[in-house]
Chain A
Amino acid sequence: AQTVTQSQPEMSVQEAETVTLSCTYDTSESDYYLFWYKQPPSRQMILVIRQEAYKQQNATENRFSVNFQKAAKSFSLKISDSQLGDAAMYFCAYRSAGARGGKLIFGQGTELSVKP
């Protein structure tokens, strides 16, 4: 079975600075997807960024980028130029590529606070 581990329960960053959130996962599959989701206090999960395992190039979405290390099974999220609105819970998630659709397996989450 696949597992996702986020070892940082809490992280803090100064506004305008850069922060990196860590995620490791375990799988025997070779093809899969990885995601970072943001969950503000409103509870609505919002997709931040996704990575296909077969792509070597790291995904980037504006201020958000990932460092995908397939051999090490590591998938960290870097937030540049942090803004107050980035404060939220961040979840790393794994999804098998085999079937249409398919469940997400989430990590425990990292609570990010942004200091003005």
Chain B
Amino acid sequence: GAGVSQTPSNKVTEKGKYVELRCDPISGHTALYWYRQSLGQGPEFLIYFQGTGAADDSGLPNDRFFAVRPEGSVSTLKIQRTERGDSAVYLCASSSGLAGDEQYFGPGTRLTVT
């Protein structure tokens, strides 16, 4: 079956603009995760959904970042008033939602803020 997909693969935007990043999880996976990976670093957790609700949003850095998953499938990460420090690869992962289950990652969206 299809894996996790993310669109766009690359996004270049100007400082101060609004961006949306999309994640399509594996069909049937109830859990969905967003991570941010800066150059040369390990991924950092942003937010985790169980179904439609955010089960843990403790990683969102500030109120410019917001994510939704209205129907429990596709998720959108939204960044308002982008800053150059937001430049990173944004990774999405999904899993079955069981304890200790494997998280399957998408290829990521590389966001560049100029």
Binding site for B on A (CB under 8 A): 4, 6, 33, 42-47, 50, 52, 91, 93, 95, 97, 99-109
Task: Given A100-B50, A103-B33, decide whether A45 and B97 contact each other with a Cβ distance below 8 A.
Answer: no
Which chain A residues lie closer than 8 Å to B100 at the CB level? 33, 50, 52, 95, 97
Could you tell me the distance between the alpha carbons of A100 and B101 in the complex, rounded to whole angstroms?
9
Could you tell me the distance between the alpha carbons of A93 and B42 in the complex, rounded to whole angstroms?
9
Which chain B residues lie closer than 8 Å to A33 at the CB level? 100
Could you tell me the distance between the alpha carbons of A74 and B45 in the complex, rounded to whole angstroms?
22
Which chain B residues lie closer than 8 Å to A52 at the CB level? 100
Flag if A105 contacts B99 (CB, 8 Å): no
Could you tell me the distance between the alpha carbons of A4 and B41 in the complex, rounded to whole angstroms?
12
Could you tell me the distance between the alpha carbons of A52 and B93 in the complex, rounded to whole angstroms?
20
**Chain B contacts with A in 26-61, Cβ cutoff 8 A:** 31, 33, 35, 40-45, 48, 50, 55-56, 59
Could you tell me the distance between the alpha carbons of A65 and B48 in the complex, rounded to whole angstroms?
29
| 12 pairs, CB–CB < 8 Å, chain A vs chain B | A33-B100, A43-B110, A44-B105, A44-B107, A47-B102, A101-B48, A102-B48, A103-B48, A104-B43, A104-B103, A107-B42, A108-B42
Which chain B residues lie closer than 8 Å to A102 at the CB level? 48, 56, 99
Q: How far is the CB of A77 from chain B (nearest CB, A)?
A: 15
Contact of A101 (CB < 8 Å), options: B44, B59, B97, B105 = B97
B91 lies within 8 A of chain A by Cβ: yes
Q: How far is the CB of B105 from chain A (nearest CB, A)?
A: 4
Contact of B45 (CB < 8 Å), options: A43, A44, A103, A108 = A103
Could you tell me the distance between the alpha carbons of A108 and B105 in the complex, rounded to whole angstroms?
18
Q: Which of B40, B42, B50, B105 has the most CB of A within 10 A?
A: B42
Could you tell me the distance between the alpha carbons of A99 and B98 in the complex, rounded to whole angstroms?
9
Which chain A residues lie closer than 8 Å to B99 at the CB level? 97, 99-102
Could you tell me the distance between the alpha carbons of A48 and B48 in the complex, rounded to whole angstroms?
22
Q: How far is the CB of B24 from chain A (nearest CB, A)?
A: 15
Which chain A residues lie closer than 8 Å to B105 at the CB level? 44-46
A45, closest chain B residue (CB): B105
Which chain A residues lie closer than 8 Å to B108 at the CB level? 43-44
